[in-house]
Amino acid sequence: MSKELKIFARQGYIDVDKHRLFDTCYEQAGMFVNGLANVKDGRSGKWGYINTKGEYVLQPQYDNAHCFNKDYHVAPVELEGKWGLIDRNGNWVFEPRFEGLYFDIIYSSAHEKMLRAERNGLLGCVDLGGNWVIQPRWEWMDTSYLYDGLILVQDPETSLYGFIDLTNRIVLEPQLKDEPKYGIGHIVASVPNGDDEKYGVLDMTGHWMIEPRFDDLNVFSARHGIATARKDGLWGVIDREGRWVREPKFDSIGSFDNGFCLAPAEIDSRYGYLNPQGEWVIEPQYHWADDFEDRSGLAVVCTRNRYGCIDNKGRFAIEPKFVQLLWGFEESTGLCHVSGNGKDYYIDRHGNRADYSEPEDMPNPAYYPMIGRFWGIKDGEGNIVVPPTFDQIYGFDERGWASAKMKGKCGVIDESGRWIIEPLYDTSHILPYEEGELSLVSRDGKYGFMDYEGVEVIPCQFDYAKEFEEETGLAPAWVHEKCGLIDRDGHWRVQPINDDIAIDSGIIKVERDGLWGTVDMDGNMVIPCQFDRMSDYNVDLDRWVVEKDFLQGYCDGEGNIVIPIQFDEAQPFHSKTPVAAVRVGALWGMIDDNGNWLCKPQFEYIDNYFDPDDGPIPVAKEDKCGYVDIYGNEVIPFIFKYLYGFDRKGDETAECTLLDGREVIIDRTGNILKYLDNDNT
């Protein structure tokens, strides 16, 4: 392949049938509005406006140009670094004099039409005569969503947010840390609190209805007048006065905005459903739970790696037998889309399979001509070798072959744009990168594998498949919603009798009926399917982390329980120094590879990525952070607010934040090597 060839892209327009309009492609193209579109000419680099026949109505002459406003038929354009406003005939509504001029038009009673404009790097608003209505003093303005006549603004000096009204009056001085959440008749907002923030509730006049005192807060339910709030890491429920309806004790709470007024809540890694008083209506028993839907009256839950739907009494309306998440029931069809490995289909509200084909999106002629992107090839001198006619070209290999897309299908072309492999495939990456490799391809909804020469050596016959795994040389494949492993000849090594399959450290994990075990390379069972989860296999110590009935422990490679399944959470073992962190209740401790306590549970947090061979272990206790050894003995005092493990950057140091907020770098003994704010006092 000639190294001088380059792939390039241009923009053009397509009609309602996706056919290309006009012979001309542009460097950039905008949407048609009332019959005109802004385009950038590829030769001159200037912008102009064309009609729906592709003819220039306003010749390319502007340095930049936006679409016309559909109601007022004006468009912002740039000349020599300044922006002005033109009408459809190219006449100046006002001449260029702003650093920026933005399309969104604001409506107010005092000034019928205003646009955001920029001067000296700051934003304000001008009327259609170019006169300042709101002086430019803001780093950012949100005019796309005017809530009860308020504009959200950001102060350039403090980066805090506040509100102004359409008459330029400051309703709320900038004091909010982040963009607020908008509820009906109220705004949830946060203010700085040291390095953190506190949340409260504002009314629409900018006054605090509830003073900022929560660590997080959601908007109030429109139906029930309650909101979920977080304090000290846990969630509870408050009323409109900010009083606790239910004290914070939950790890998470979902939405009460449904006809049953039930919200999914998590406690100790189990999910159930609460009423607004914070009482369990459906006891916590699921691995995961979603909000209730009004249209179906059901909620999706997960138990033992299977998804189903329950009613408001906690009874299964649809048994948990699906491998993948159930999406919501569609209002128009009453059906639910089930997405699983190997097959997507629909079920009705009773869980029965339903015959249904998604209708093709019907194009709306009002939105066409539509912008399309087309790809071609240039030589080293910039001459067009292959005109931009392809939907995509993905890159040439050393032979001068490239995957390319045309009309939604992919094939392979040579340097002249000739099809070597006809565009029949759904996957964009068709050929493997090197000889001897195989590439996963999809055609007509089925999956197979192609070699370097473009031969479909394993025909597209599987419902789904994944790439070949390096350690085993096998690839997962699905037929009839069951999966197994195939070799490079397409023969089954592990028969397709499993619900799911995964390879961890070269070991094959299989799932059957929601439980996990392992098999050998020939599909013979090694560890019977008995665990809710298996993860983080340590080859050196022969230890799996396993879970059953919401508790975790450890087994060996034959499935023998070597450390009882008794912990609320367990981390994998480290190989050199065989130690693992485990949690009992809310507190963490550390055990050896026989399950003996090295350090009884006493810490609120242990760094998930700690390695005892890289230095002291980062932990938290009583809202302070410090470092300990594997026995829990203090090595570096608890004088930090935040900290990280050592040697993450390969220099045996750690970045930390002191309790007073200063950021420092320390060595393994706790000595401060550097203050990151350069303040050594």
**Which pLDDT score, from 0 to 100, does residue 341 have?**
64
> Long-range contacts: 178-187, Cβ < 8 Å, 24+?
179/142, 179/152, 180/152, 181/218, 181/219, 182/145, 182/147, 182/219, 183/219, 183/220, 183/222, 184/219, 184/220, 184/222, 186/219, 186/220, 187/147
Q: For the whole prediction, is pTM greater than 0.85?
A: no
Token readout for 191 is 């203010």
pLDDT at 679 over 80: no
pLDDT at 678 over 50: yes
CB 329 within 8 A of CB 540: no
Token readout for 562 is 């070597």
**Which pLDDT score, from 0 to 100, does residue 566 have?**
97
Average pLDDT over residues 505-514: 92
Residue 102 pLDDT level (bands cut at 50, 70, 90): confident
Q: Rounded to whole angstroms, how far apart are CA atoms 423 and 530?
A: 46
**Which pLDDT score, from 0 to 100, does residue 550 have?**
92
**Which pLDDT score, from 0 to 100, does residue 352 have?**
87
**Which pLDDT score, from 0 to 100, does residue 113 have?**
79
**Which pLDDT score, from 0 to 100, does residue 563 have?**
98
CA-wise closest residue to 262 among 198, 313, 206, 318: 313
Average pLDDT over residues 613-624: 89
**Which pLDDT score, from 0 to 100, does residue 681 have?**
43
Write the CA distances from 363 to 15, 393, 425, integer angstroms: 10, 26, 24
CA-wise closest residue to 305 among 569, 572, 516, 497: 516
Token readout for 309 is 């739907």
CA-wise closest residue to 642 among 619, 613, 675: 619
Residue 104 pLDDT level (bands cut at 50, 70, 90): low
C-alpha dihedral sign at 459, 460, 461, 466:
positive
**Which pLDDT score, from 0 to 100, does residue 575 have?**
87
**Which pLDDT score, from 0 to 100, does residue 587 have?**
94
| Least confident among 60-64, 397-401, 494-498, 628-632 | 397-401
Average pLDDT over residues 75-91: 96
C-alpha dihedral sign at 68, 69, 70, 72:
negative
Percent of the chain with pLDDT over 70: 95
**Which pLDDT score, from 0 to 100, does residue 112 have?**
63
**Which pLDDT score, from 0 to 100, does residue 325 have?**
74
**Which pLDDT score, from 0 to 100, does residue 360 have?**
67
pLDDT at 223 over 90: no
Average pLDDT over residues 497-521: 93
| Least confident among 265-269, 378-382, 644-648 | 644-648
CB 267 within 8 A of CB 248: no
Token readout for 511 is 């799932």
Between strands 605-606 and 597-603, the pairing is unpaired
| Least confident among 89-103, 266-280, 609-623, 631-645 | 609-623
Token readout for 653 is 């140091």
**Which pLDDT score, from 0 to 100, does residue 367 have?**
76
Average pLDDT over residues 84-101: 96
Average pLDDT over residues 6-30: 91
Q: Rounded to whole angstroms, how far apart are CA atoms 330 and 629?
A: 55
Burial of 208 (0-12, 13-18, 19+ CB in 10 A): middle
Average pLDDT over residues 14-19: 86
**Which pLDDT score, from 0 to 100, does residue 26 have?**
95
Question: Amino acid letter at 59?
Answer: Q
pLDDT at 680 over 70: no
pLDDT in tens, 455-476: 999 999 999 999 999 889 999 9
pLDDT at 604 over 80: yes
pLDDT in tens, 151-192: 899 999 999 999 998 888 999 999 999 999 988 889 999 999
**Which pLDDT score, from 0 to 100, does residue 362 have?**
67
C-alpha dihedral sign at 376, 382, 384, 387:
positive
Average pLDDT over residues 419-434: 94
pLDDT in tens, 35-58: 999 999 988 999 999 999 999 999
Q: Chain-centre distance of CA 9, in angstroms?
A: 28
Q: Rounded to whole angstroms, how far apart are CA atoms 635 and 627?
A: 6
Percent of the chain with pLDDT over 90: 68
Tell me if residue 69 falls in helix, strand or coil: coil
Q: Rounded to whole angstroms, how far apart are CA atoms 427 and 436?
A: 20
Write the CA distances from 329 to 314, 326, 335, 473, 610, integer angstroms: 18, 9, 5, 40, 44
**Which pLDDT score, from 0 to 100, does residue 222 have?**
83
Average pLDDT over residues 260-264: 94
Average pLDDT over residues 103-128: 80
Mean pLDDT of the chain: 90
**Which pLDDT score, from 0 to 100, does residue 145 have?**
62
Average pLDDT over residues 312-322: 92
Q: Does residue 369 have a cis peptide bond before it, meaning omega lies within 30 degrees of 0?
A: yes
Phi then psi dihedrals of residue 614, to 5 deg? -100, 10
